Structure 1
Amino acid sequence: MPRRVPAVDRAFDILELFLRTPQPESLSVPEIARALELPRSTVHELVGTLVARRYLRALEDHPHRFALDVKVFELGNAYAATLDLAREGQEVARRIAAACDETVHIAVLDGTEVFYIAKVDSTNAVRLVSAIGRRLPAHCTAVGKMLLSGLPDAELAERYRGIDRLPALTANSITELDALRRELAAIRRRGVAYDNCESNADARCVAAPIHDHRGQLVAAMSISFPIVRDTPERFRELARLVRVGAGELSRRLGYRGTVVDPERVLEPPPWHRGDAAREGR
């Protein structure tokens, strides 16, 4: 590895203090020195340089306290402009698909439909047939229901205004708006969405949310699998993996909020609750 320059390392250490939780709005030189275990004289020089380069600024009403300045914002915007959701998503989806050998999708919401922007296929002979660029009714898919769950009630009502009955793709599809609202409320509580043969009579899906650097729910990731490979144990593992993948992609997009915990044990989905009862869970 190339030699690291200690002064540069320390300057970045100072900037990264503002990424800590709880996030400080401002820091003084003594606070920085204590946090990084550096001499105050060294911190004074580093902070002075960062102020001169407009990465930090002194507060007008508290000139001995420092906050992030405009250059940090400009760098963040420059980085965000280089991000491509589809490209980043394809890379993360490839790793998740390799871990489970099932089909992984990433989709965004467009009106009342989902639009698939990334996909990695399973290598199994029995697999879901789909394509990037395909559109489906959002209420029939796990990714779509996850994305709809992020909408305010008023916006959800506006998107479905004038629709008395939702279109069905299978006998399991939700067709009543009240039923959809109940399902979206359940998704918000548990943090993942299910598709129980609602878009394909032979397949199920589990989906997790993807957030961007603004904290917005911008996409969802799902793992789709044929019902012939569905068991309670398999479902738990796929639910864990989709949360891992969605969390990784959210962090790549600059999200710094709380991602859905991949290790949190979910209650069994409706179609496995009889199995769970028999196993004593």
Structure 2
Amino acid sequence: MTTDGAGGTGDQDHAPTMAGLPPRGIGRFGTIVGRVTPLVVPPALLPWVAGIDVATAAASAAVDVPDHATTLLLRVDSGELVVMGPRTRAAYHLGPPGRSCVRVRMRPGGAGALLGRPPRDLADRVLPLRALPGLDVDRLAADPIAALETALTDRPEPAGRLEEAARLLAGTTVAAAAARLHLSERRLRTLFTEGTGLSPKRFARIDRVRAVLAAGPGRWSDIAATAGYYDQSHMTAEFRRFMGVTPAAFAGGRRPAATRCAA
């Protein structure tokens, strides 16, 4: 019998799967919070923006799972704007119940076009948006969607090759993705680092962890295979590296202690 490192039996196939998670949903933003209300992305923003929603904190801990996207975040109560770079580790935190945030998740390459700088130095960082050029911050705080439409009207759309590479990496290796795109692996690494702030290998690893988190009912071994891992033990090790606990511990609610959100 294996153990999960959190006080219980671990990742055997009879353990609870991610289907046991509350129906709050991980969603495209990869954050487990009290309530999420998706908003429609206007057609004019679709080349740059993957999703917009309003997230409202509950009394329980929120989980920011690893994410390869850069996200703009507007705190509704204070009007504070921040940019969250790609997250390479999960964060567990507590915030005041009822606090709401408008979140804008950018497509691969979209953040660079909006912020006027490549996101290569934004990984695992949260910065006040006033520290970044290229936006009318006051207007963005007053009406995020309208401000984004204005800001992006004359900006070049992200390179289609970057988003195509991101899709390929969800189901194949870095070498195979580079070959499909007729690029060298070195060129693909440069493209990803400049456009997303992550290497293609790290991008793909985060994508697999998110696939496990979003999995429906099933055996852990089947979930591992579907998500693209070599086997169940590979999935368990990778999940622990990114999430701090094994899949079974996470699904069973045995998670790292949450810290209070200071912002």
Q: Which has the higher helix share?
A: 1
Larger Rg: 1
Structure with the bigger RCO (C-alpha within 8 Å, sep 6+) is 2
User: What is the TM-score with the length of structure 1 in the denominator?
Assistant: 0.24
